Structure 1
């Protein structure tokens, strides 16, 4: 799929309040990027002869109530966006597979810039773009994934910022680069957060400890150095971005959630330096996805 501007913002919809919020956010995002908007819904139809066999696509699928409902949703979404943002190029696709597969397929298309999904789906159409879909997308998507909260919340009197979590991992490096680019494009402040926890929090079960273990200054200093090293190069590439640097004595997820308001965009890496490779996402990114009151971008 080609687009004359800088790619496409892909959004999954299922008719839920959460996906309507995602659609509205995505339309604004596409307009600000000068990109096109690609609306996707997914349809799984179970085999009536074998409910344990999984979804199938019967020959007359286009005549099914589910297909007509899905197509009607896409038509409505296109008209709604067209009324609000007539300048946007809008396309839609109904895919006969699971929501995660449908959006991953779109994310792999040339020109896809970001994929947006609501955190809670309706549960009736296309298996819903629910929280688990956002986690699977964030773990596998080749482009950043933005997950919107289940309810649209506002923070009156606050200005939008970009809040990025830093831990020195490769995913964190990619998240920092994305965060700087977003802050520059939005013309807003970047808040760089590196959280640290006392070594004693992990070592008290190991028996008697030497006195130096209780000295928190080296841990705090290491966090500060990690943060400064992570932002040094991007800071030079984006000299116009105002950076607010914070090292916080806290769990990383708690530090990000306490720093951000519902207006802010939180940016995290998909897996930190302490993550297990067998997990879909790192524990920090999952905790932030589940606890945030505003949009969260997960970057691999």
Structure 2
């Protein structure tokens, strides 16, 4: 699909990781709808991890595993093409482990889509180490499909923003809204208690913290409007004591929650921040996480 707003990033091809679970099948259909909206191809990947398994398994076992994987890929592709006959669909049996297989398939511009739960292969993509590895280390957008498949669309996309540093990835959220002909809501949750004893001493009162956030979010909204004059856009700052809780509540009334990943470094490597982690566990709609170093568009107008 050609972007109506030249200042927005071009959304790339969609790569979906599947296993034999119903959740993976639902994720594949969601990914197909996303690719169809974008006017981009869809690539279905099953990572059988045969390179590692071959060390401990017989040749017959590996061959049987590969055949089951091929059948799974073919069956999923058939379901997708029946629902979206005009969509270009390719499939891949990756010999790598799931995280590496998805990274390789997505390249530099693809969007990775995974289901919320599964039975094997990609089965731990939400709550286990594989999902956290995909979302926390990738350099491309990752969408975890959550919520009921029969959920009624709201016609709205929500971007969970914090401050001016979110402006670049926010343009991805605007592009997502544009391809859906949906509205975009910028939502920022201000936990004023987190600043007590620090920033508060530099402001007239606690309410000043929220006022400062309102100013920052309003400025971001104006920058988005400058690039997308035809986009229906609203912005709101909510005060509360739980940022993750407020954002999870917001997922009940939106089709997609988009946020930037704020990595924290632990001994084993980068990990998702507390807010992103909570959204992946509890969101009522699909969640898209945009990495901070994702290359977007050219210079600001």
Alpha-carbon shift at residue 214 of structure 1 (Å):
8.9
Residue 106 of structure 1: aligned partner: 105
Q: Against the structure 1 CA distance between its residues 61 and 234, is the aligned structure 2 distance closer, same or farther, given a 3 Å change threshold? A: farther
Deviations 1:49-72 (A, max 9, x none): xxxxx6336784785221111111
Query: Which is worse superposed, 126-135 or 186-195?
Result: 126-135
Equivalent residue number for residue 216 of structure 2: 226
Q: Distance in 1 between matches of 2:147 and 2:21?
A: 9
RMSD: 2.8
Report whether the alignment pairs 1:144 with 2:144: no
Q: Secondary structure at the match of 1:184?
A: helix
Corresponding residue number in structure 2 for 1:128: 123
1:84-129 Cα shifts (integer Å, max 9, x gaps): 11211111001112111110111226xx431100121212xx2535
Specify whether residues 217 and 7 from structure 1 end up closer, same or farther in structure 2 by C-alpha distance, changes over 3 A only: closer
Question: 1:75: which partner in 2?
Answer: 74
| Cross-structure match for 1:66 | 65
Q: State how far apart, in whole Å, the 1-side matches of 2:182 and 2:119 are.
A: 33
TM-score norm. by structure 2 comes to 0.81
SS in 1 for 2:230: coil
Are the counterparts in 1 of residues 18 and 122 from structure 2 also a CA contact under 8 Å? Answer: no
Contact 1:153 1:262 in 2 (8 A): no
Give the 5 Å matches for 1:1-300: 7-45=12-50, 55-56=53-54, 60=59, 64-108=63-107, 112-123=109-120, 126=121, 128=123, 130-131=125-126, 132=128, 133-149=130-146, 151-152=148-149, 154-155=151-152, 159-168=154-163, 170=165, 172-199=166-193, 201=194, 203=196, 215-250=205-240, 251-261=242-252, 263-271=254-262, 276-278=264-266, 279-300=270-291
* Conserved 8 A contact 2:155-2:181: no
Is there any run of 5+ residues in structure 2 with no aligned partner, and where?
A: 1-9, 292-301
Do the aligned partners of 1:267 and 1:296 also contact (CA within 8 Å) in 2? Answer: yes
Distance in 2 (alpha carbons) for counterparts of 1:169 and 1:153: 36
Q: Deviations over 1:186-241 (max 9, x none)?
A: 11111101111124x5547x9xxx99889322111111022122232222101111
Residue-by-residue CA offset, 1:253-272 (whole Å, 9 max, x unaligned): 2222222226520001111x
Q: Which moved more, 1:130-139 or 1:22-31?
A: 130-139
Residues 1:9 and 1:127: Cα distance change in structure 2 (over 3 Å): closer
Q: Which runs of 5+ in 1 are unaligned?
A: 47-53
> What secondary structure sits across from 1:86 in the alignment?
coil
* Greater C-alpha Rg: 1
2:113–2:144: 8 Å Cα contact kept in structure 1?
A: yes
- Secondary structure at 1:162's aligned position in 2? strand
How far apart are the structure 2 equivalents of 1:262 and 1:95?
37
How many residue pairs get aligned? The number is 275
Aligned residues of 1:107 and 1:142 also touching (Cα < 8 A): no
3-state SS, counterpart of residue 87 of structure 1: coil
Question: CA separation in 2, counterparts of 1:178 and 1:71?
Answer: 33
